[in-house]
Structure 1
């Protein structure tokens, strides 16, 4: 029997509905779709870290995955406290965990680290020139990645200090922690600041949804620039072999092909299936 993977939402109900309105799915639903594509027949359950209370029986879970969200872990809120409390239970239970974007930030704060606003501004659409640290060169989460790569991204906050037990695995020039492992309590967490689970069409939708902020940040001149970019992203999503579109966007197969874009998630699932991340 395949291990059950619990997909955890850290979006409020209104945030889930807002994302469905422009991207078609809430963030945890996007993650579930990617997982089913990676592992047809995978056993999935979902939970909200705001509503779940205690985590489900750890003995029945192979792993836990935290989806992205707009949560700001450096701001004191009921949602931030609930998310950190839920993640603390995951660490205490020793269930292997993985997270993207907000998921990494939740894990860092729960283990004693810190997050804050990204300087000089949001990382929009893509995280480019991601490069392994010395520790990341030999870490199994990044197996198969080239020397540098580009990944989907959309975030205005970052981990500013890893907790004790945290190891920085990758960075780019503007985001000093793009990937990390956190060992805390009985648990091991693998996380990335970017979004390997997102399709290029979802990145297009998120880009257009945040058009005003992107233009204010100086990354586009006007809405026409973003409409053109979004159209190319949708074209590349529909036809990943379109090297002309990839070239126009400054991308390559590392992001256009699903099986390469989702490399870190696949590596986590492999580790769960081999049962090598459980406490001994």
Structure 2
């Protein structure tokens, strides 16, 4: 049975974007559920800053990678009454669950956080193959018994540099095709501080010791990354503008003009990866500029977890 046609909530219009330049996987059509981590107010703030809402980015990436005919449905459990599967859809009809990042922190005592923790516990209970980035990794770790806190080393914004595979990561299919160390698009201020019993750390760097993990809990298995393979440089530019005051307060930028200049360079290079002058200025290479390499972990999850199931 197929999922309903690809859907996002009515407040999330698709923004015009260039589809990722990747090869589509072969196989039967997949039925994928996307879990949006942001509340409706945060989604509106993303659009107001010129960005694209996280679940829309995931849908575009998943439909570019997944076999022809694959479909996506989206759920927003941070919203009141937003934690119910779409009408006519049950867990048996879902081949995989992909969860986005969020502007929330998992240690906040707020209803929108509690709802999402409870929903991700249901994902583990369902036994469906699950993947997620940033906030999603942190929520999965908390559900499985770990802890998350603000990173004392500060925010990691723009790029996670020198993400290095652990011994377990070098042998794990999540990182198939990755070199021993690489860069990735990232923006976060929190980190996993105490791994749950069922977690294996797959990569880390100087800012965040946990950059990727395999978490096994209850009936399910979650593969997650702290960075954002679904983001291109086009997506990180608007986020820099949105958080400009925080970037200045953290000493990452001198003033709002500096943030605006940096965001413009990121967006320009993201739109035209052939700009060697800008790539040289920012110290960015094919880890980020080549869509196929950037999306390595999402593709590997589909290949090794979703398609076999």
TM-score, normalised to structure 2's length?
0.85
Match of 2:63 among 36, 43, 52: 36
- Retained in 2: the 8 A contact 1:117–1:156? yes
Distance 1:97 1:58, change over 3 A: same
Q: Does 1:7 align with 2:34?
A: yes
Which of the two has greater helix per residue?
Answer: 1
Structure 1 stretches lacking a partner, 5+ long: none
Structure 2 stretches lacking a partner, 5+ long: 1-27
Cα RMSD for the two superposed structures: 1.6
Q: Following the alignment from structure 2 to structure 1, what is the Cα–Cα distance between the partners of residues 148 and 220?
A: 20
Which residue in 2 is equivalent to 1:217?
250
Match of 1:189 among 212, 222, 239: 222
Which of the two has greater strand per residue?
Answer: 1
Q: Following the alignment from structure 2 to structure 1, what is the Cα–Cα distance between the partners of residues 52 and 259?
A: 21
- Retained in 2: the 8 A contact 1:98–1:190? yes
- Retained in 2: the 8 A contact 1:23–1:202? no
Which residue in 2 is equivalent to 1:48?
76
Q: Following the alignment from structure 1 to structure 2, what is the Cα–Cα distance between the partners of residues 71 and 25?
A: 17
SS at match of 1:163: coil
Q: Following the alignment from structure 1 to structure 2, what is the Cα–Cα distance between the partners of residues 261 and 271?
A: 17
Q: Following the alignment from structure 2 to structure 1, what is the Cα–Cα distance between the partners of residues 279 and 69?
A: 31
Q: Following the alignment from structure 2 to structure 1, what is the Cα–Cα distance between the partners of residues 249 and 203?
A: 28
SS at match of 1:141: helix
- Retained in 2: the 8 A contact 1:119–1:174? no
Q: Does 1:203 align with 2:236?
A: yes
TM-score, normalised to structure 1's length?
0.94
Which residue in 1 is equivalent to 2:25?
none
1:242 deviates by 2.1
Shifted more, 19-28 versus 167-176: the winner is 19-28
Q: Following the alignment from structure 2 to structure 1, what is the Cα–Cα distance between the partners of residues 129 and 272?
A: 35
